[in-house]
Amino acid sequence: MADFTPDRVLFVFSQPYLSRRRERLLADGLCRLSPLPARCIRLEGTGVSLPQALDIAVAEGARAILVQPVGLPFSESLSSWLPGALAHWQASAPPELQLRLGNDLALAPTLLGTVAAEAIGDCAQARPIEGVRPSLGPRGWSDPGTAEEHLFVCTGQRCHFREAPRLRALLQDELRRAGLLERCQVTESSCLGPCNLGPLVARYPDGSWYRLESLADVKELVATVLVRRDAASRLRVHRMVRAISAAETAG
33-48 b/e (C-beta count within 10 Å ≥ 16 → b): eeeeebbbbbbbbbbb
- In the bound state with ligand FES, the residue whose beta carbon lies nearer, of 9 and 153, is 153
Among 91, 63, 82, 65, residue whose Cα is nearest residue 161: 82
* CA 22 from centroid of its chain's CA atoms: 16
49/157 with CB nearer ligand FES: 157
What's 34's DSSP letter?
-
Q: Which region, judged by CB under 6 A, interacts with ligand FES, from 6-14, 102-110, 139-147, 149-157?
A: 149-157
Q: By C-beta, is 52 or 98 nearer to ligand FES?
A: 52
Residue nearest ligand FES (C-beta atom): 156
Helix H or strand E encompassing 248: helix 241-250
User: Distance of alpha carbon 6 from its chain centroid, rounded?
Assistant: 26
Which of residues 77 and 103 has its CB atom nearest to ligand FES in the complex?
77
User: Does 159 sit near ligand FES (CB under 6 A)?
Assistant: yes
Residues in the chain: 251
Q: Is 156 in the site for ligand FES (CB under 6 A)?
A: yes
With CA atoms as reference, report the closest residue to 64 among 136, 127, 8, 130: 8
The answer to whether 193 touches 202, Cβ cutoff 8 Å, is no
- Residue closer to ligand FES by CB (options 18, 227) is 18
Distances (CA, A) of 73 to 15, 42, 77, 124: 11, 15, 11, 26
Please, which residue, 180 or 235, has the CB nearer to ligand FES?
A: 235
- Total number of residues that touch ligand FES (CB under 6 A): 12
What residues numbered 186-205 form the site for ligand FES, per CB under 6 A?
191-195, 198, 200
Q: Where does this chain touch ligand FES (CB under 6 A) — which range of 35-43, 155-163, 209-217, 225-233?
A: 155-163
Parallel, antiparallel, or unpaired: how do β-strands 236-239 and 64-69 relate? unpaired
Alpha carbon 169 to its chain's center: 13
Closest CB 44 distance from ligand FES, rounded Å: 8
State the binding string over 98-137 for ligand FES (x if CB under 6 A, else -).
----------------------------------------
The verdict on 154 binding ligand FES (CB under 6 A) reads yes
* Distance of alpha carbon 164 from alpha carbon 175, whole angstroms: 17
Q: Which is nearer to ligand FES, 57 or 153 (CB)?
A: 153
DSSP annotation of 74 reads P
Q: How far is the CB of 42 from ligand FES (least distance, A)?
A: 14
- As measured in angstroms, the least distance from the Cβ of 193 to ligand FES is 6
Q: Which residues bind ligand FES (CB under 6 A)?
A: 154, 156-159, 191-195, 198, 200
